[in-house]
Structure 1
Amino acid sequence: MHFKYNFHIDFMKHSKKFMLFSIIVTLLGVVFLFSEGLNRGVDFKAGTTLDINAGKTIEKAKAKEIITNAGEPTGIITPGGERVSIRFDKVLSQDEVIKIKQGFVTAYGDKVSLEENTVDTSLADELAQKAIYAVLIASVFIMIYVAIRFEWRFAVSAIVALLHDAFFVISVFSIFHLEVNLTFVAAILTIVGYSINDTIVIFDRIRENLRFAKIKNYDDLKHLVNASVSQTLTRSINTVLTVFVGALLLFILGGESIRNFSLAMLIGLLCGAYSSILIASPLWAMLKKNSLHSGRKTAAPAKS
């Protein structure tokens, strides 16, 4: 059985080591999620966020002073040049918002503008639940699609890789206590899309090669997977790099409001490429290996 491709890399040789690494990271993420939880932003937690634009550079110390003079707890202050974002863990009344704005007007002049974003407890809980449902529903439909287009082994492998990517990003945000909000959910759903795209490209090549291959044992199966991944490696790398550069520029040049979205995308893109090549494909081979054994037993002649 011979295939032509430019890369000669034995991806299957160390597949168990990569899977062990992923399992360790996943378990570490579970520990942090249960012990630390997620740093839920105002979208998933009751509170008020004020985005203030003064037309002048706002110092963090000055913003803290203005809020303290207004009689409010400091909150989480995120400066960004002429803009500052302040998140409070309680819902501010209109009088309290006006008092804070007046403090900035006094310090920076009449050009101060303020944008208020308030979420109450019931809405925060509802948004958190719907975010989880969105990821789960997307995963179920992807699994059904892959199972219909390919076979159940491809579907199981694709979903394992997909959930691995999503959970890896969630684990990183939990470990470093980064804020999780609606833009983070958008990033997770985007990552799911790119991850399944990479996986489908490789699976499509595996299925095509499988049609002309004579698989007699697990070594033949490993060779087929190595060849298929190698044949699609250039395309996978180019696709990831193209999107990665865009996400990196957003992370460097974008504002604070999309910083975590960009970071989640950067981590997810790298993780998606890794899982498609080193998790999904080897896992499919392992599942397919069992069918080779069962096929052999079925084909064995009956003893008279």
Structure 2
Amino acid sequence: MNYNTKIRYDFIGNRNKFFLFSITLTVLGILSLLIFNLNFGVDFKAGTNMDISIGKQAAQADAKAILEEAGITDITPTVGGNGNDRVSARFDEVLTQAKITEIQEGFKAKYGDQVSAEVNVVSPDMAQELGIKTIWAVLIASVAIMIYVMFRFEWRFALAANIAILYDAFVVVAIFSIFRLQVDLPFIAAVLTTIGYSINDKIVIFDRIRENLRFGQFKNREQLAEMVNASIWQTMARNIYTVLAVLVVAICLFIFGSESIKLFALAKIIGLASGAYSSICIASPLWLMMKGKQKPRTQAKSSTQP
């Protein structure tokens, strides 16, 4: 069949290569989670986070010396902000109010009375509750998307899309686990928005597949595979432009943003790249596999037996 589309690469014919790569990355991610787990930030484990505004340029060595004077020797604070005027320190234990005051007084003695601090304390119960709610948020979002796609298209589209978006979410988690990057609440926001952007790419391709399926007659699996390949290339430009528009913003945030937003931007970059990949190389081939196993409908008899 002629779809008036130049197919530059056979994604469907090479689907086994993409499946192998995706399975390998998934296995590596699972092993990393089992061995190393995630590098949870204060939001997901008990601890204290202090963001201290100095009002003038600060040095990391001086900030570390102040913490050591307060009896904390295993924490290396980070210095950032405009003109390196902010010091951030994350402690694995819940600091007492007396210890927090001692640290603040140490910075005031070094840099003056203009020093102010924002302190966030997460108790063990609160950390556990946040973790449970995060899991529920991802599951509810995935189920809601699956139901939406099932009503708009069919169950095969819904199942293929859900497998692909869960893969996208897991890729972000796996990369952060493998490279020991910190997981906090902005990271969870990045994962959830990744799911939203990812399903958008898949809906665009699935809508074109459904349209081509409606107006075409396919006698065998090869013709069906050709149609899916053509549908991917017919929507390629739109998907690339959509992803690039958001990707450029995420990259700018990662390069020029503050330290507190860099990991959020990085998670977005990984999620966007994975979403574009899975829409083309996972979701569409998965739908084809399930559609190819569908039994052909038998035509109704034109006459009845007497």
Q: Which interval holds the TM-score relative to the shorter structure?
A: over 0.9
Q: Is the 8 A contact 1:67 1:74 kept in 2?
A: no
* DSSP-derived class of the 1:214 partner: coil
- Structure 2 contact 59–79 (Cα < 8 Å) conserved: yes
One-letter amino acid of the counterpart of residue 35, structure 1 = I
Q: Tell me the equivalent position of 2:43.
A: 43
Q: Between the two proteins, what is the percent identity of the paired residues?
A: 55
Shift of 1:6: 4.8
* Structure 2 residue runs without a partner (length 5+): 302-306
Q: Which residue of 1 aligns with 2:9?
A: 9
Are the equivalent residues in 1 in contact too, given 2:64–2:76 (CA < 8 A)?
no
The secondary structure found in structure 1 opposite 2:235 is helix
2:179 corresponds to 1:176: yes
Equivalent in the alignment of 1:210: 213
Point out 4+ residue stretches in structure 1 off by more than 3 angstroms.
298-301
Task: Name the structure 1 match of 2:304.
Answer: none
TM-score (norm 1): 0.95
Secondary structure of 2:150's partner?
Answer: helix
- Taking the aligned partners of 1:107 and 1:77, their CA distance within structure 2 comes to 16
AA partner of residue 156 (structure 1): L
1:163-182 residue CA offsets vs partner (Å, 9 max, x unmatched):
11000010000001110010
User: 2:248 aligns to what?
Assistant: 245
Provide the residue aligned with 1:277 in structure 2: 280
Q: Tell me how far apart the structure 1 counterparts of residues 239 and 197 of structure 2 sit (CA, whole Å).
A: 10
Question: Displacement of 1:77 after TM fit?
Answer: 2.0
The aligned residue for residue 288 of structure 1 is 291
- 3-state SS, counterpart of residue 295 of structure 1: coil
- In structure 2, the partner of 1:102 is 105
Give the letter for the 1:62 counterpart: D
Once the two structures are TM-superposed, the CA of residue 84 in structure 1 deviates from its matched residue by: 1.5
* Alignment match, 1:62: 62
**1:264-293 Cα deviation digits (max 9, x unpaired):** 0001100100000110001100110001xx
RMSD of aligned alpha carbons: 1.5
Q: After superposition, what is the alpha-carbon deviation per residue over 1:50-80, rounded to whole angstroms, capped at 9, x for unaligned?
A: 0011122222221111001012344352221
Aligned match of 1:146 = 149
The amino acid across from 1:177 in the alignment is R
In the alignment, is residue 26 of structure 1 matched against residue 26 of structure 2?
Answer: yes
TM score, norm. by length of structure 2: 0.94
Matched, 1:221 2:224: yes
**Structure 2: distance between partners of 1:22 and 1:258:** 28
The equivalent of 2:270 in structure 1 is: 267
Query: What is the alpha-carbon distance in structure 2 between the residues aligned to residue 7 and residue 100 of structure 1?
Result: 64
